[in-house]
Amino acid sequence: MNQSFYLDRASGWHALHPLTKIAVAFALSVTAFCVRWDFISVALFVFVVIPFAVWGNIWRPVLRATFTVILPLAVSLALIQGFFFPGAQDVLFQIGPFALKREGLEFAFVTGTRLMLIAGAGLLVVYATHPADLALALVQAGAPYPLAYIIVTAIQLLPEMQARADGILKAQQARGLETTGSLRVRVSALLPLLAPLVYGALENVQERALALDARAFRAPRAKTSWRVLRDTLAQRALRWLLVMFSILLIVASVFVPLFIR
């Protein structure tokens, strides 16, 4: 039941502190937004994201997930911007009343590769970070403890709820519920599917609250954790460097015209 991105691999990238990985992804995304060079995102993707993914032995899932997410977006972007970019002049070819223009495609390329880089950088983090470690790192950095509870519980609940949704769908179909056909038929199938699903999910809420109270969840004392995060001085320094670099880049892109995209 692996319903989070996390893939357990023994790699140096995996062993880094979650916040270090997040800082890398953040700095990459900021750079892609602030540097005015059409190929910056492609360059960062090829020379930073892919090597890191190879280091973490997760390059295959990272690439696959990046393209699953980006491909439909890229097609849509290329069509919308290629044909309807405001003020574009340079016509590449004509289909009926529509003209494909170079400026639009360029804009689609820059935006599309930028989104590809951001998705790739984020996936690089989530494939190599156990959700519980992420939650713990956030709490240790000062985030409220309930945040950790919410993230981890949501991830654990999702496969359970999906299995239940599937079961309800099959059960109602076995009783003769139509789930295909006209819009009216499909809309009227909504209630018999959603009602048991949602009530089933809400049934346990009260029990969960009682269980949390019984375990002194709201006690103001600091909680101990079963998981241990490894952090080093070098990583802490690297994180600050990356954050300072990102802030400087943002400030620079506001004031130095060469940088603005």
Partner 1 sequence: MTFMERMQKDFTTITLALIPVAIVINIVVGQVVALLKIPVYMDSVGTMLVAILSGPLAGAITGVLSNLIWGWVLPPPIGNPVAAAFWGTALVIGFQTGLFANWGWFKNKLPQSQAIAYVLGAGMLLTLLQLFLASPTFGSADFTPLALTGVVMGIVLTVITTFLTWRGTFPPLIVIGGVLLGIVSAIISAPVAAQVFGGATGAGTDLLVALFRYSGLDPLTSNLAQGLISDPFDKFVSYVAVWFIVRGLSKRLINQFPRGENVTDR
149 binds partner 1 (CB under 8 A): yes
Determine if 50 is a binding residue for partner 1 (CB under 8 A). Answer: no
Q: Find the binding residues for partner 1 in span 224-243 (CB under 8 A).
A: none
Torsion on CA atoms 146, 132, 115, 97, rounded to nearest 10? -70
Question: Is residue 79 a contact point for partner 1 (CB under 8 A)?
Answer: yes
Q: Is 63 in the site for partner 1 (CB under 8 A)?
A: no
Composition of the chain by helix, strand, coil, percent to 5: 70, 5, 25
154 binds partner 1 (CB under 8 A): yes
CA 97, 103, 107, 109 dihedral sign is positive
Applying CB under 8 A, which of residues 198, 229, 251, 254 lies at the interface with partner 1? 198
Residue 122 or 239 with smaller CB distance to partner 1 = 122
- Which residues make Cβ contacts (< 8 Å) with residue 241, sequence separation at least 6? none
Q: By the 8 A CB rule, do 11 and 56 touch?
A: yes
Out of 155, 238, 243, 249, the residue judged to bind partner 1 by CB under 8 A: 155
- The yes or no reply on residue 189 touching partner 1 (CB under 8 A) is yes
Is position 173 an interface residue for partner 1 (rule: CB under 8 A)?
no
Near partner 1 by CB under 8 A: residue from 54, 63, 161, 243: 161
The region of 36-44, 208-216, 225-233, 243-251 touching partner 1 under the rule CB under 8 A is 208-216
Half-sphere exposure (Cβ direction) of 92: Cα atoms closer than 13 Å: 9
Q: List, in order, residues 6 or more apart from 182 with CB less than 8 Å away.
A: none
- For the bound state, the minimum distance from the C-beta of residue 234 to partner 1, rounded and expressed in Å, comes to 26
Site string for partner 1, 104-133 (x = CB under 8 A): ---xx--xx--x--xx--xx-xx----x--
- Provide the minimum distance between the beta carbon of 244 and partner 1 in the complex, in angstroms, as a whole number: 24
- Phi and psi at 146, nearest 5°, equal -55, -30
Task: Count the alpha carbons within 13 Å of 96 in the hemisphere toward its beta carbon.
Answer: 1
Asked if 47 is part of the footprint of partner 1 (rule: CB under 8 A), the reply reads: no
